[in-house]
Amino acid sequence: MDKKRVIAVHDISCMGRCSLTVALPILSAAGVETSVIPTAVLSTHTGGFEGFTFRDLTDEIEPVFSHWKTLGVKADSIYTGYVGSHRQLEILSRLIDAFKEKDTFVLVDPVMGDAGRFYTSIDARFVEGMRSICASADMIVPNLTEACMLLDLPYVSCGYDESYIKDMLKKLCAMGPRYAVLSGVSFEKNTTGAAAYDSERNEYIYCPCRVVEGFYHGSGDVFASALLGAVMNGKEIAESLDIAVNFTLSCICRTHDLGCDTRYGLEFEKELGKYIDRLGI
């Protein structure tokens, strides 16, 4: 039986598709049972709406997963995203220790910022804590901004070359994970993409796609969730990357072509059919 279960630990931004409201539908579409632990409830995400509410759920996390432990629950994957506080990082570390077995795939999306800047409520001390969570991951999926934060490098938005990216990926893997996947990597004007490194096989992969004008909220969450869905379906990393990049691109294109307010997230729903077809399920 190849049924898979993921424990997804992210916030719920009630409006503005990102984090759990993206991870849950995409992983479900990938045929994966998704057990969720909300880290916080916000009226919207923190990127672009004034006056959002924020209810911290730190005190709920450990009771929830401790209950699951008493039920003998096993997880094929643990997937963490936006973390609402420094204390939550320590609790996440305990959650990973509690559920990680030999074949449990731990995916950490170190959500901290974009375009060279921290998201609201993230600071330098938080980065330190995020490094230790990344150390217990099998795969991490930072964007370029987050990778620079993790590696304590100045943010470079363009003008770098492939050896700079390969070096960065290797340093990210040296923090602990077998795989590092960097999104938003652009070596030429109209192309962007994701670059990955498998430290066990010493293998570098770059999956390019065209640039669509604009800034698209939640695209990192769509990408990471689609990537995990592919990995959970037994796809190799190169194919998983290709599936996730092209799914994200098609969601971005749809959002762009409809002229949507991009703060509300990607129009991913009507692209799920193609995603399922690519997974062959």
User: Binder to ligand PXL among 138, 221, 267, 271 (CB under 6 A)?
Assistant: 221
How far, in Å, CA of 205 to CA of 237, rounded? 9
Using the rule CB under 6 A, is 187 a contact of ligand PXL? no
Binding residues for ligand PXL restricted to 106-145, rule: CB under 6 A: 111, 119
| 11 near ligand PXL (CB under 6 A) | yes
SS3 183: strand
Q: For the CB of residue 113, give the shortest distance to ligand PXL in the complex, in Å.
A: 8
CA 257, 263, 266, 270 torsion: positive or negative?
Answer: negative
Amino acid symbol at 45: H
**Site for ligand PXL, residues 237 to 276, rule: CB under 6 A:** none
User: Between 52 and 160, whose beta carbon lies closer to ligand PXL?
Assistant: 52
Q: Among residues 19 and 233, whose Cβ is nearest to ligand PXL?
A: 19
Residues in Cβ contact with 185 at an 8 Å cutoff, skipping those fewer than 6 apart: 144, 165, 192, 193, 194, 195, 206
Cα gap 96→79, rounded to integer Å: 10
If binding is defined by CB under 6 A, does position 17 make contact with ligand PXL? no
- Least spacing, CB of residue 222 vs ligand PXL, in Å: 9
Mask for 24-53, x = binds ligand PXL (CB under 6 A): ------------------x--xxx------
80 binds ligand PXL (CB under 6 A): no
Q: Rule CB under 6 A: is residue 13 a binding residue for ligand PXL?
A: yes
Task: Give yes or no for a contact between 9 and 80, defined as CB atoms under 8 angstroms apart.
Answer: yes
Residue type, 88: Q
Minimum CB distance to ligand PXL smaller for 134 or for 173: 134
Q: Does 82 bind ligand PXL (CB under 6 A)?
A: yes
Q: Which two three-digit tokens encode residue 278?
A: 């690519």
Beta bridge partners of 6: 34, 77
Output the smallest distance, CB 46 to ligand PXL, in A. 3
| Closest CB to ligand PXL among residues 205, 224 | 224
137 in Cβ contact with 92 (< 8 Å): no
Tokens representing 3 are: 């049924």
Counting Cα atoms < 13 Å in the Cβ hemisphere of 184 gives 23
Q: Cβ closer to ligand PXL: 53 or 66?
A: 53
Separation of alpha carbons 216 and 262, rounded Å: 5
Residues that bind ligand PXL in the complex, under the rule CB under 6 A = 11, 13, 18-19, 42, 45-47, 82, 111, 119, 218, 220-221
